[in-house]
A = this chain, B = another copy of it.
Amino acid sequence: MVRTPTTPIYRVLFNNLKGQIDDGHYKKGDLLPSENDLCKLYSTTRPTVRQALSELARLGYIVRHHGKGSIVSEPKNGLGILSIKGSTAGVGKKNLQTKVLAKTAKTNWPIDFPYELTEAQRHAGCLYLSRLRFVNGLPTLYEETYITDIDLPRFTMHNLEKNSLFETLNKYHKVEIKEGEQKIWAVAADKAVSDLLSVKPGKPILHMKRSMHTNKSNLIIYSFLYCNTEEYFIQDYF
């Protein structure tokens, strides 16, 4: 990216505040500076500040109270992107390991791909990877991901064992998840899945198919996952 289009003020403010909440500078329950204070800090006006705060509220980072202020709430995996939670307590990052079974590689779209593809997507081809997630050493979630191979130079080089796919897409390719859809089933584990997740065949397994649109049209991400919900469950916020 040679050309650097100026990022809007509201987005700079949004990113800064979001970062300060993520890194713990503002903690849950804290009151953000008032809109007028933020205006002075960023030399801008209330509508602009409010646009940033609206997006933070939409993602669940803050809750706004009329006459009081904006209160930081639990940072959530907004957008319906799912997280795994232990049945008793939250699972910290250190207890979550990722093993890449199939490294990111260029392939053709499967013939029986369950989503409709545009001509542009077909032409671009896709990147495929599969990962197995362990929670406290227990294989819990198997995920296959298909990413439309558009405008993602050298993407196969990234190490996705240590870093999150979405963080990587955002950080190095400025890809943001915008909207999506997910379908959910409870299925009986077949031979392949029961091997991967170390459960007996026939055990109830959570199965999901997800498609996610991004800020780049045609760059759509598909993810098919199987999750053992015996010890842990899947949780999302909206």
Contacts and interface: CB of A to CB of B under 8 A. Distances in A.
Interface stretch (A2-10, A142-150, A159-167, A185-193): A185-193
Copies in the complex: 2
Contacts of A187: 186, 204, 229
Given A79-B238, A183-B233, A183-B235, 4 more contacts: A80-B80, A184-B235, A187-B204, A206-B206
Contacts of A181: 235-238
Given A47-B47, A179-B60, A184 B234 contact: yes
What 6 pairs across the A-B complex have the smallest Cβ distances? A80-B238, A204-B204, A186-B186, A186-B204, A186-B206, A185-B229
A188 B206 contact: no
A182 interface: yes
A182 B182 CA distance: 14
A16 to B, nearest CB: 22
Given A80-B80, A80-B238, A236-B80, A229 B47 contact: no
A234 B54 CA distance: 29
Nearest to A238: B80
28 contacts: A47-B47, A58-B58, A79-B238, A80-B80, A80-B237, A81-B238, A179-B237, A180-B238, A181-B237, A182-B236, A182-B238, A183-B233, A183-B234, A183-B235, A184-B206, A184-B229, A184-B233, A184-B234, A184-B235, A185-B229, A185-B233, A185-B234, A186-B186, A186-B204, A186-B205, A186-B206, A188-B203, A204-B204
A103 interface: no
Nearest to A178: B63
A85 interface: yes
Interface in A190-238: 203-207, 227, 229, 233-238
